[in-house]
Amino acid sequence: MAKNATLQVQVDKSQPIRVNSPNIILVIRNNSSDIYSNVNIELEHRHDIQLYPLKIHLDQLAPGYPGIKKIRSFRAHAAGSYIIRGRANYFVESRDRRAEAMEVELHIRVAPAITPEQKRTETGLPSLVRVPDLEGQTNEVTLPGEASVPNSIAQELRQQLKRGDLILFLGAGLSIGAGLPGWGRLIRPLARAVGYRLPTEDELVTADHLLIAAQHYENQRSRYALITYLQEKLDTTGVQPTTNHHLLAKLPVKVIFTTNYDDLIERTLQAGGKRHNVIVEETEIPFWREDRVQLVKLNGDLKRPDTIVITKSDYNTYFAAHPRLAERLRGVLETKTALFLGYSLNDPFFNQIWDNIGLDFGRHRRLAYAVLFDVPGLEADDLEKRGIKVVNLQSKRRNKSALLEGWLRGIA
């Protein structure tokens, strides 16, 4: 594919692609300054490769941000280099939905099938000892029952905590461990109720999919029905905060931002004897106090129905409706180091704030850290270039809450 192509389709090469690989991950990037919609990519059929599906669809592709799609079935007959050609069709939103098309090529290098000995090595128990390598760098630290924490990142975070420069940014993934539904499980029933089709695999569902589904539900059933549904599904009666909630509450941080609607974070702070302010509306900003933990609920609180932010329209009008709250968030991120946990970095709200800070400060922007699970290599590279250091925890079907707990104990 030409280097100046406005639509780039690549195979994620962070993991070896082998003859017996079950699937491959495609990364689709929009290299223009326009928004593309209704992106359809159709790949050719080859007799020497099994590839399914051959048709790939993305509702929308913003400039610079990757769309991630999984080829669920991939088999190569033999090791070697392959080129799979195809064609992409899409609409350019900023040019009156002008239709465009281009040829695409996938370059895939397939390694031989893994041997039994290699499989034992790749899936064996991690080392329990931290040793310096030949160049004097420190390998990752793995403690029994805990997740791996790169030593340099752990040191950096401890220093930020000691200086009082770390803030937390907590998302829905934190509450999943307590039994509450994540975004996918929360929104899928709404989409089904109004006939809006979401991708069947959760990893293919984007934030835009979820916001549009909530918007359709509100349009058809009413705002009251949408909020009532949220209050029922996210009710925390009888739900206890997790060990991870308690570990986070013990950290010496003064500011916590969250996009969660539930009350588990404030209940944990209360149980730990930490005095705090809960800020949901702009009228509460004057009560910001440096001698207390500030818990800012950016997406609203279920106990205050008028504050909920969940639909496409809510997000599109957020900055106009909450200019002072958005500016406070932006100001804190400019001077403090953020640690993102249980949060989707593809969320449109986060991207707007973070990228605006990048434009203002360029390479002098404060770094952020994000703890994510099973992030493809190309997506991790993209985040690193945007000033976000990724802690990439490999779940391998293990309990993610337990992995996060081990990681948190590693920096405490």
For the chain, give the mean pLDDT. Answer: 82
Residue 124 burial (CB < 10 Å; 0-12/13-18/19+)? Answer: exposed
Total-model pTM: 0.66
Least confident span in 41-45, 50-54, 188-192: 50-54
120 SS3 class: helix
Q: List pLDDT tens digits, range 350-363.
A: 665 666 565 555 55
Q: List pLDDT tens digits, range 85-126.
A: 999 999 888 767 788 999 998 888 888 876 555 444 443 333
Q: List pLDDT tens digits, range 280-307.
A: 999 999 999 999 999 999 999 999 999 9
Question: What contacts 372, CB < 8 A, 6 or more positions away?
Answer: 345, 380, 390, 391, 392, 393
Give yes or no for residue 177 having a pLDDT over 70. Answer: yes
Token pair listed for 163: 């200086």
Token pair listed for 385: 């270039």
Report which DSSP code applies to 127.
P
User: Given the structure tokens 């690193």, which residue do they identify?
Assistant: 384
Q: Which residues pair with 110 in a beta bridge?
A: 80
Q: What is the pLDDT of residue 281?
A: 96
Q: Which residue has the higher pLDDT, 3 or 226?
A: 226
| Strand (E) or helix (H) holding 313 | helix 312-316
What is the phi/psi pair of residue 257, to 5°?
Answer: -100, 140
Amino acid at 408: L
217 SS3 class: helix
Pairing relationship of beta strands 80-92 and 337-341 according to DSSP bridges: unpaired
CATH H-level, domain 7-113: superfamily: Immunoglobulins (2.60.40.10)
Q: What is the pLDDT of residue 127?
A: 31
- Alpha-carbon distance of 50 to 82, in angstroms, equals 12
Q: List pLDDT tens digits, range 115-162.
A: 555 444 443 333 333 323 323 333 333 333 344 455 678 889 999 999
The residues spanned by each domain of the chain are 7-113, 151-180+240-411, 183-233
Cα end-to-end distance, the chain, whole Å: 47
Q: List pLDDT tens digits, range 218-273.
A: 999 999 999 999 999 999 999 999 999 999 999 999 999 999 999 999 999 999 99
Specify the fold of 151-180+240-411. Rossmann fold (3.40.50)
